Amino acid sequence: MNSGMTLGRVREAQQRIEGLINRTPLMRSRSLSSLTSGEIFFKCENLQRAGVFKARGAFNAVYSLSDSELARGVVTSSSGNQAAALALAAKSRGIAAYIAMPRVALKSKVNAVQRYGGNIVWVESKGAVPTSEEYEATAADIQGRTGASPVHPYNDLRTIAGQGTCALEIIDEQPDLDIVLAPVGGGGLLAGVSVVARALSPRTRVIGCEPEMADDAYRSFQAGAIVPQLNPRTIADGLRTSLGDLTFALIASNVDEIVTVSEAAILSAMRLVWEVLKVIIEPSSAVPVAAVLEKKVSVAGKSVAIILSGGNVDLDNLPWGTAALPSPAR
Amino acid sequence: MNSGMTLGRVREAQQRIEGLINRTPLMRSRSLSSLTSGEIFFKCENLQRAGVFKARGAFNAVYSLSDSELARGVVTSSSGNQAAALALAAKSRGIAAYIAMPRVALKSKVNAVQRYGGNIVWVESKGAVPTSEEYEATAADIQGRTGASPVHPYNDLRTIAGQGTCALEIIDEQPDLDIVLAPVGGGGLLAGVSVVARALSPRTRVIGCEPEMADDAYRSFQAGAIVPQLNPRTIADGLRTSLGDLTFALIASNVDEIVTVSEAAILSAMRLVWEVLKVIIEPSSAVPVAAVLEKKVSVAGKSVAIILSGGNVDLDNLPWGTAALPSPAR
């Protein structure tokens, strides 16, 4: 399948969003390097605008719109990070953003969308959490009423190209990496990163990391066809979605391996990053860290970049202390 | 008073500790810049080794020792950050570190010292918290038994010169700052930074920031003589100490102003940094942020560097959520 996704598109995205997004630091950790006998770098997308890598794709999409599209705004459906990132990008360009959100979205994520001036439309749902169909029905309804342009959180070439700019920055600073690790949910980040790595640094292994409790990318990668995620029960709220056809095709042809990690490993990796690196990461970001700590990926003697994808957490409900393990999402 | 503290000493320290400590990022915050109408940079010493700027002074002191001194190790007294920083520096050079610590020290700080192989000696105390005299008696006893070299947490030229290297890095990246803000406890960081700023960027205002509940530096600065801190009741545990004679002399002659902030302002500034910047800071680091947010320092239209001094907190006892305001330290 020719997805139309190329390094050239990522480079165009980089020029388009330069100065609009943060060039985030790539930090070497002495502690984690010593602990793992590898040379471990962290790409801190938790320090990205809106606290998440998704600002890259959202800004690229919004700044790709034609004048007539701009006048009618953008629409997306998301329970969290895409919602905030697209609202911020739209605010930056002075256009409307309509966000289809579930009523169960975290208060901190709802607050972020409102702070960025996004127009929230609640997704009505028969279950506790809306299905993809319910999300899409709400987004389609908004689109019908407003004419807003849809910006898909991952299954969209503008989004994927934007996320890929993260890899351009990594390779610019560390051109000789043995391994790049990224979390995989809908697959936008992993797809974009894999396209860039294949083109610029063919010897670098690109590995996707996923919770065992939401392992659709792993199963899809093994099966060679999309296996949708049913009933994801992971604390990594950013990774509960399934791959799309575009992201699946790119991942299938450019990614070397997908590994999965346990919920307990995700939590202890998250805690370790907070304690040792002193940066705030959300559970999704801890997934590739867990893959290294659990030795699902062997890093001894290797130069490794781990993408810390985001840092949006609810500080009043941290998953440790008296609460210990949180109850899984329904 | 000629303290013997010069820019040259700081430059020597920088060469001595290069590659041993982290060159920490100076990050511009769009959100805080927008909120304050200033251009706000954060020097992230919370991302320093041992999670605190004190690694600079500790490494400089340890790597300044003669061969005969090295054989007998180093000793310091500290309830927290200095303890961990000196233990780490000593471990790095393969020598012994003896740390006089109070039994009330946070478990996370005790753990850090033990992880770095420091030898903890508990300070016996008649009160809830040891007095300076009780700390010094314990340190003197260790010194008598072992011959270890004392490394004072702030009132030591090697320590002050090490802390000053932080300002060399800031000015190297942003040479035209209007204001530099640093917290002040014992005054080692503020003294070192002020010496560098006076020498390299005379127009930059250097402002020390202190909790109202531990305002000895403010009162000393106003009085022109050391006014010791009695009964400090602040959440900013790194700032409860009083100035020493060396740090006082340097601060009196090189610092432009000292401002104080409330406990409530410290807590909300700390929370804001966690939420918006996504980095973990301890309460002491929040003090200069609070000074800006409370408008104790006017930053509109100005270019400002705020030193985030450290990130060592007890993640199981965060000062918000159900607990709200913590009870002040006795």
Partners of B315 on chain A (C-beta within 8 Å) are 271, 274-275, 318, 320-321
Q: How is residue A209 written in tokens?
A: 């990391």
| Alpha carbons A22 and A226: distance in angstroms, whole number | 33
A171 and A23 in one domain? yes
Same domain flag for A41 and A74: no
In a domain, A2, yes or no: no
Confidence of residue A231 (pLDDT cuts 50, 70, 90): confident
Q: Is-contact B123 B135, C-beta < 8 A?
A: yes
Say if residue A254 is in the same domain as residue A114: no
Instruction: Pick A77 or B79 by higher pLDDT.
Output: A77
User: Looking at beta carbons, which residues of chain A come within 8 Å of B30?
Assistant: 22, 49
Nearest by CB to A271, from B30, B278, B315: name it: B315
What is residue B171's three-state secondary structure?
helix
Whole-number pLDDT of residue A127: 82
Residue B270 inside a domain? The answer is yes
Per residue of chain B (330 residues), give pLDDT as tens: 456 899 999 999 999 999 999 999 999 999 999 999 999 999 999 999 999 999 999 999 999 999 999 999 999 998 789 999 999 999 999 999 999 999 888 888 898 899 999 999 999 888 877 887 888 899 999 999 999 999 999 999 999 999 999 999 999 999 999 999 999 999 999 999 999 999 999 999 999 999 999 999 999 999 999 998 888 889 998 898 899 999 999 999 999 999 999 999 999 999 999 999 999 999 999 999 999 999 999 999 999 999 999 999 989 889 885 433 333 333
Mean pLDDT of chain A: 93
SS3 content of chain A, % helix, strand, coil (to 5): 50, 15, 35
- For residue A328, tell me if it sits in a domain: no
Closest by alpha carbon to B191, among B61, B10, B11, B21?
B10
**Residue B327 CB-density burial (10 A; 0-12 exposed, 13-18 middle, 19+ buried):** exposed
Asked if residue A186 has pLDDT above 60, the reply is yes
Contact status, residue A56 vs residue A165, Cβ threshold 8 Å: yes
Q: In chain A, whose CA is at the least distance from the CA of B319?
A: A316
Q: What are phi and psi of B315, to 5 degrees?
A: -65, -20
**A330 within some domain:** no
Clarify whether B309 is annotated catalytic. yes
Same domain, residue pair B195 and B219 = yes
pLDDT value of residue A321: 56
Q: Residue A179 is part of which domain span?
A: 7-52+156-323
B328 falls within a domain: no
End residue of a domain, out of A150, A173, A204: A150
Cα distances (Å, whole numbers) of residue B170 to A53, B28, B29, B164 = 27, 12, 15, 10
Residue B108: closest C-alpha in chain A: A275
Shared-domain flag, residues A282 and A175: yes
Residue with the larger pLDDT of the pair A233 and B11: B11
Same domain, B126 and B163: no
Instruction: Judge whether A122 lies within some domain.
Output: yes
CA dihedral A43, A44, A50, A56 (to 10 degrees): -10
Work out how many CB contacts closer than 8 A connect A with B: 50
Quick check: is B277 in a domain? yes
**CB spacing of A316 vs B316 below 8 angstroms:** no
**Chain A residue with minimum CA distance to B115:** A31
Separation in Å, CA of B43 to nearest CA in chain A:
13
Q: What percent of chain A has pLDDT above 90?
A: 82
Q: Measured between CA atoms, how close is A222 to chain B, in angstroms?
A: 36
* CA gap A130, A241 in Å, rounded: 12
User: Smallest CA–CA separation between A321 and chain B, in Å?
Assistant: 5
Measured between beta carbons, which residues in chain B are less than 8 angstroms from residue A320?
Answer: 315-316
Pairing label, strands A149-150, A74-77: parallel
Distance CA A38, CA A207 (A): 16
Q: Same domain, yes or no, for A210 and A319?
A: yes
Q: Is residue B314 part of a domain?
A: yes
A280: nearest CB among B27, B49, B280 = B280
Among B130, B150, B170, the domain boundary falls at B150
The bridge status of strand B39-44 relative to strand B26-28 is antiparallel
Question: CB distance from B217 to chain A under 8 Å?
Answer: no
Alpha carbon distance A157, A5 (integer Å): 7
Mutate to test the interface with A, among B278, B309, B313, B320 (most CBs of A within 10 A): B278
Taking the CA atoms of residue A78, residue A83, residue A85 and residue A87 in that order, the dihedral angle to the nearest 10 degrees is 150
Nearest chain B CA: its distance from A324 CA (Å):
11
Tally of domains in chain A: 2
> Looking at residue B134, which CATH number applies to its domain?
3.40.50.1100
Q: A21 and A167: one domain?
A: yes
Which chain A residue shows the shortest CA-CA distance from B322? A316
Q: What pLDDT, on a 0 to 100 scale, did the predictor assign at position A328?
A: 36
So what's the pLDDT on residue A2?
52
Cα–Cα distance between B167 and A312 in angstroms, integer?
31
Inspect the interface and report whether the beta carbons of A278 and B277 lie closer than 8 Å. no
Q: Does one domain contain both B141 and B194?
A: no
Question: Which of A277, A279, A320 is nearest residue B315 as measured by Cβ atoms?
Answer: A320
- Cβ–Cβ below 8 Å for A278 and B280: yes
CB-closest option in B22, B25, B274 to A280: B274
Kindly state whether residues A207 and A246 are assigned to the same domain.
yes
A 21-60: CB under 8 A from B? 22, 25, 27, 30, 46-47, 49, 51
Query: Are B39 and B95 in a shared domain?
Result: no
Same domain, yes or no: A15 and A112: no
- pLDDT for A270 equals 98
Query: What whole-number distance in Å separates Cα of residue B153 and Cα of residue A23?
Result: 36
Q: CB A1: neighbour CB atoms within 10 A?
A: 10
The residue from B284, B303, B309, B327 that is catalytic is B309
Residues in chain B: 330
- Give residue-wise pLDDT tens across range B143-181: 999 999 999 999 999 999 999 999 999 999 999 999 999
- Could B277 and A49 be called an inter-chain contact, meaning their C-beta atoms sit closer than 8 Å? no
Q: How far apart are CA A108 and CA A317, in angstroms?
A: 11
- Give the domain-ending residue among B117, B150, B183: B150
B320 and A316 in contact by Cβ < 8 A?
yes
Which residues does B30 contact at the CB level (< 8 Å), separation at least 6? A22, A49
Both structure tokens of A181: 């690790």
Specify the pLDDT at position A322: 42
On whether any CB of chain B is under 8 Å from the CB of A109, the answer is no
Probe site for chain A from B24, B107, B275 (most A CB atoms < 10 A): B275
* Between A126 and B155, the higher pLDDT residue: B155
B295 interfaces chain A, CB cutoff of 8 Å: no
